Amino acid sequence: MDVLSIGETMIAFSPNEVGPMRYARDFSTHIAGAETNTLIGLEKLGVRTGWISQLGNDELGHRILSFVRGEGINVDSVKLTDEARTGIFLKEKARYDQTHVHYYRNDSAASIMSKDNIDKSYISQFKYLYITGITPALSENCKEAVLYLINVAKELGLKVIFDPNLRLKLWSEEEARETLLNIISLSDIVLPGISEGEFLFNEKSEDKIAQHIVDLGPSTVIVKLGEKGAYYQTRNESGYAKASKEIEVVDPVGAGDGFAAGYIAGFINGLSLHDAVEQACNAGALVTTVKGDVEGLPSENELEQFKNQDKT
């Protein structure tokens, strides 16, 4: 198998109407969590993946487990527990195209994971470890588990890919900055958004942010610039890439995870850095054209069509 990740996946409840959620009557439910969003995106692009997690042994936990398994992800390291419930979140669509996320995930089944959830022989089956900054923010024991997993993975020769995914609703600025910088220094490839780079290094420009990250050790940095595309930098190369076409955003949540899937799949399949970053921008853009965090993740054919549309 290629890519392993660890994280929390929840049921997202989205009101069917725009406006303050106190008036919402009807909700749709979706499955969402940054790490499985990316793993599902990778599976759609032919990359084999596995997920370490913990779900409540409850109706929502069973729904998530079947869904993730159904998308092709290996779930041998996913536990169901009676000790805690599956986390949920509400995705409120406010006026003026604003999306607000409200978490109900304190003490959830995933947030009580620990080093005991990590099995060395399982990790040794993979080549890459994909981490986001959400998992260490869930609890002190999750932070320990993530750092332990990264160290074991590195010992076993896996490359570490990191998306800082800053979530200040989950931890303090100080703790976030310290932990994210530490994980960056242990990673090979880092995929920050421009505002995350600004938060971490107090710099506004993408090239300075990328240089700070390269100075901490990683060999490749890709800074996401939203609709402007992305800036990439390695020790010998730098440049910009953007989506092949402008799109109309229906639901912005999950774009970064689609971006990660597009890039990692491109990198594993031997695309040049520029082409892998362009594929990342296209995958991220396509995610936002559909309601839900995973429903818009593209297949290889969909990526191909999207890329070539602007040339005709």
Residues binding Mg ion (CB under 5 A): 165, 256
Taking CB within 5 to 8 Å according to partner kind, which of ligand CKP, Mg ion, none is near residue 33?
ligand CKP
Cβ proximity to ligand CKP: between 158 and 283 the closer is 283
Beta-strand pair 88-93/10-15 = parallel
| Nearest distance, CB of residue 40 and ligand CKP, angstroms | 11
- The answer to the question of residue 164 lying near ligand CKP (CB under 6 A) is no
Other residues' Cβ atoms within 10 Å of the Cβ of residue 42: 27
Tell me which residues are annotated as active site: 257
The partner residues of 6 in beta bridges, in order of sequence, read 52
For residues 270 to 289, the per-residue mask of contacts with ligand CKP, x marking binding by CB under 6 A and - elsewhere, is: --------------------
- The answer to the question of residue 298 lying near ligand CKP (CB under 6 A) is no
Beta-strand pair 99-104/10-15 = unpaired
Sheet holding 189-190, edge to edge: 78-81, 49-56, 3-6, 128-132, 159-163, 189-190, 220-224, 230-234, 238-241
- The answer to the question of residue 84 lying near ligand CKP (CB under 6 A) is no
**Separation between Cα atoms, residue 285 and residue 247, nearest integer Å:** 7
- The answer to the question of residue 37 lying near ligand CKP (CB under 6 A) is yes
**Separation between Cα atoms, residue 13 and residue 60, nearest integer Å:** 12
Taking CB within 5 to 8 Å according to partner kind, which of Mg ion, ligand CKP, none is near residue 32?
ligand CKP
- The answer to the question of residue 32 lying near ligand CKP (CB under 6 A) is yes
**Separation between Cα atoms, residue 182 and residue 224, nearest integer Å:** 20
Scanning residues 93 to 122, which ones bind ligand CKP (CB under 6 A)? 101
- The answer to the question of residue 92 lying near ligand CKP (CB under 6 A) is no
Length of the chain: 312
Question: At what angle are helices 255-268 and 34-44 packed, to 10 degrees?
Answer: 40
Residues that bind ligand CKP (CB under 6 A): 10, 32-34, 37, 101, 134, 165, 167, 253-257, 293
